[in-house]
Amino acid sequence: MALENIEWLDPLVDRGRNRDLEKYAKRVSGSVPPHVPYLAACPWILRADLHFDTAMAEIQDLADNIYLVVSRDNSCRWCYGASRLLLRVAGMSNAQIEKVEEDVELSRVEPRLRDALEFARRVSRSNPAPDRESIQVLRDLGFSEAAIKELALFAAVVVFHNRFATLLALPVSTTERLASSPFARLLRFFPWGKLGTVLRAQPRVTAAAAADDEGPFADLTRALGDLPHARVLRDTLDGAWASPILPARTRALIFAVIARGLENGPAEAEARRLLAEEGLEFPLVDDILANLASPELDARESRILPYVRETIWYQPAPVQRRGKALREVLTNAELLDTVGTAALANMVGRVSLALEVM
Amino acid sequence: MTSVWGLIAAALALASAVAWWRSRARARVLRTALEAKSQDLEQLQMAFARFAPEEIIERVVAEGVTPHGERKAATTLFADLVGFTTLSESIEPDVLVRILNGYFERMSRAITTHRGHISTFVGDGILALFGALQPNPWQANDAAHAALAMREELADYNRELAAEGLPTLSVGIGLHRGSGVAALVGSRDLMQFTFVGRTVNLAARVQDLTRRFEVDILLTRAVKDTLDGRFELRELPATAVRGIEGEVEIFAVESFSGEA
């Protein structure tokens, strides 16, 4: 079923021009994707978006289905529409896509896909998070440790995409219209040129090799080993922390709130370590995390922290309305950076919960 | 002779074509009906997600109702209208139902706005849960904010009722936090997602105490211990309640000094 009936607000952020970013997007993907202007004020989000693609080392055959199912699960009209469009361009009809969804829903798919999807959904929902038993099911089916890690990481990558697209209410109408069009299949004959590479690209790795892994959440990125997306995650975390829009303290607070909400002790401990580096120590952090408020928070943080808690589990329109209210007190760039950081913290929180029980 | 066989063959071909065309048309109708039902089911599933965790709904869809419970820490809010039984005997049934539905509408809004979910309506009572559907480390604050929002909503509703010349309402609310089992329970004909255990009983008992202490919102020590310090509370004498060993420490909620 398409998600067109789900309420979706107009974009929360303004369109802007960032020629360097447009050139970068063109270099990576062969064209400038239509959502680039919405992310122009906060480049690290777009870089992550471009590099967190569907290129896998171990589970390439499962990637499209995971993207489709998790996006649908998260009611992300933007990602789900894009995912359907990709499948249409790849030659599937609407009926075939619906059949796949129906089969997944009714567990009529082969065990490898069925259990991988179940695991991916569990990572994405984290309610409850995957346990040893769910990982053993995958091992019994022959998934290697690297494949399980990649599965968890890719589900979390989809969480990242779903969150920033939904929280910003990126425009969905064109993609949805194209995906439903009877002519969508003809698009595969279009001379895409380098644009094709964005659909099936190998990630452009710019991060340090795993052995030199340092910086926020280095234990996690080290644990993910040499997976292509692990290196993109390292690069993204470093890019976020280098962003001059929000201070490092606010960013670490966002990670701490989301880790607390997900009941993820190790991620909260890492966020606390980062907060300590910024001069925020126990018991002040305890007080902030207990109530999402404190006289020690600045006016901006006092509005941001209650908002980011809403990004853990949500319905699209209500959370978009909360984001709209936040937009009234933040600049365009600050809202982008807040949403991107919340999306990244949700990704990190979920993948680390899965890895913890491996 | 040849022409007879030719006619038979033509008739058979025509009959086959008609049968094929009919079966295609029938398949098309069935497919459309199936798609419509599938969409209905999807929408039903999405609607159910407001009342039970998605995993439980999916399990029900895939396997039917199977026994499955999960131990969780949740905050329970129990609300009951004061003197409503007497009131219900003195007004017309239609008016009573209208008053009650208006009350439930407003209370539900206050609860869901603060991330609670209503487990059940029991007569004029409401059992709401915080932290039972999803982990929620801020559940005590959410429940206390919901209780204050219910107080405000009721004051607003009472102004409307008074303007219509109808009797006004007063409510008692009890809050308690503790562990219990979150599960889909009931019979084959009627199921509900709820929270079972001492926590619910104690919240109901604490709600009873609102009459004795003439306050509208009471909470226990277990809620207070994780509550935002900006809630203004008034400590009341520890009190014994039926079915609970020892005395229960209780606090009346006065107000919240900050932004909810």
The more confident residue out of A156 and A65 is A156
As given in the structure block, the two tokens for residue A53 are 């693609």
Instruction: Give the rounded percent of residues in chain A with a pLDDT score beyond 90.
Output: 72
Burial class (CB in 10 A: 0-12, 13-18, 19+), B188: exposed
Range A279-288 contact pairs with CB under 8 angstroms and sequence separation of 24 or more:
A279/A249, A280/A249, A280/A252, A280/A253, A285/A256, A288/A253, A288/A256
Residue A129 confidence (pLDDT): 92
Q: Which residues from chain A sit within 8 angstroms of residue B182, using beta carbons?
A: none
Q: How far is CA B165 from CA B83, B89, B95, B160, in A?
A: 18, 17, 12, 9
Residue in A1, A293, A309 closest to B39 by CB: A1
Query: Which of B195, B215, A123, A279 has its CA nearest to residue A135?
Result: A123
Contact A125 B54 (CB under 8 A): yes
The H or E element that residue B130 is part of is strand B125-130
CA angle centred on A349, ends A346 and A354, rounded to 5°? 125
Strand partners, B108: none
Residue A180 confidence (pLDDT): 79
Residue A200 confidence (pLDDT): 46
Distance of CA B73 to the CA centre of its chain: 17
Gap between the Cα atoms of B9 and A111, Å rounded: 49
ipTM attached to this prediction: 0.87
B231 Cα to chain A: minimum distance (Å): 11
Residue A95 half-sphere exposure toward CB, CA atoms < 13 A:
6
Contact A293 B228 (CB under 8 A): yes
Put simply, whether B40 touches A (Cβ < 8 Å) is no
Q: How far is CA A210 from CA A202, A229, A348, B148, in A?
A: 17, 11, 17, 51
Gap between the Cα atoms of B201 and B207, Å rounded: 10
Residue in A73, A107, A291 closest to B228 by CB: A291
Gap between the Cα atoms of A157 and B184, Å rounded: 32
Residue B50 confidence (pLDDT): 61
Put simply, whether A296 touches B (Cβ < 8 Å) is no
Find the radius of gyration of the CA atoms of chain B: 28
The structure tokens 């968890």 sit at: A152
Gap between the Cα atoms of A210 and A231, Å rounded: 7
Same fold flag, A19-199 and A210-356:
yes
As given in the structure block, the two tokens for residue B6 are 């030719």
Strand partners, B256: B231
Q: Which residues from chain B sit within 8 angstroms of residue A99, using beta carbons?
A: none
A127 Cα to chain B: minimum distance (Å): 6
Residue A144 confidence (pLDDT): 96
Contact B137 A263 (CB under 8 A): yes
Grouping H, G, I as helix, E, B as strand and the rest as coil, residue B186 is: strand
Range B227-232 contact pairs with CB under 8 angstroms and sequence separation of 24 or more:
B227/B140, B227/B141, B227/B144, B228/A290, B228/A291, B228/A293, B228/B141, B228/B144, B228/B256, B228/B258, B229/A291, B230/A291, B230/A293, B230/B256, B230/B257, B230/B258, B231/B141, B231/B144, B231/B255, B231/B256, B232/B256, B232/B257
B35 Cα to chain A: minimum distance (Å): 9
The H or E element that residue B88 is part of is helix B84-88
Conformational region of residue A30, where left means phi above 0, alpha means psi within -120 to 50, and beta covers everything else: left
Put simply, whether B70 touches A (Cβ < 8 Å) is yes
CATH architecture of A19-199: Up-down Bundle (1.20)
Residue B46 confidence (pLDDT): 64
Nearest CA in chain B to A102: B38
Residues A331, A262, A291, B143: is their CA dihedral positive or negative? positive
A3 Cα to chain B: minimum distance (Å): 10
CB atoms within 10 A of CB B71: 10
Distance of CA B28 to the CA centre of its chain: 40
Burial class (CB in 10 A: 0-12, 13-18, 19+), B141: buried
As given in the structure block, the two tokens for residue B37 are 């039902």
- Give yes or no for a contact between A79 and A67, defined as CB atoms under 8 angstroms apart: yes
Contact B141 A106 (CB under 8 A): no
Domain locations along chain A: 19-199, 210-356
pLDDT tens-place string over residues A187-233 = 666 554 444 444 444 444 444 444 567 899 999 999 999 999 999 99
Give me the amino acid identity at B96: L
Residue in B42, B135, B258 closest to A293 by CB: B258
- Give yes or no for a contact between A119 and A138, defined as CB atoms under 8 angstroms apart: yes
Nearest CA in chain A to B63: A106
Contact A107 B62 (CB under 8 A): yes
CB atoms within 10 A of CB A1: 17
Task: Write the CB contacts of B75 (distance below 8 Å, at least 6 apart in sequence).
Answer: B129, B130, B131, B139, B140, B142, B143, B175, B176, B177, B223
CATH fold of the domain at A210-356? AhpD-like (1.20.1290)
* End-to-end Cα spacing for chain A: 34
* Confidence bin at A123 (pLDDT 50/70/90): very high
- As a whole number, the mean pLDDT across chain A is 90
CB atoms within 10 A of CB A168: 25
Q: Is the pLDDT of residue A95 over 90?
A: no
- Give yes or no for a contact between B175 and B217, defined as CB atoms under 8 angstroms apart: yes
CATH architecture of B67-256: 2-Layer Sandwich (3.30)
- Low-confidence stretches of chain B (pLDDT < 50) are none
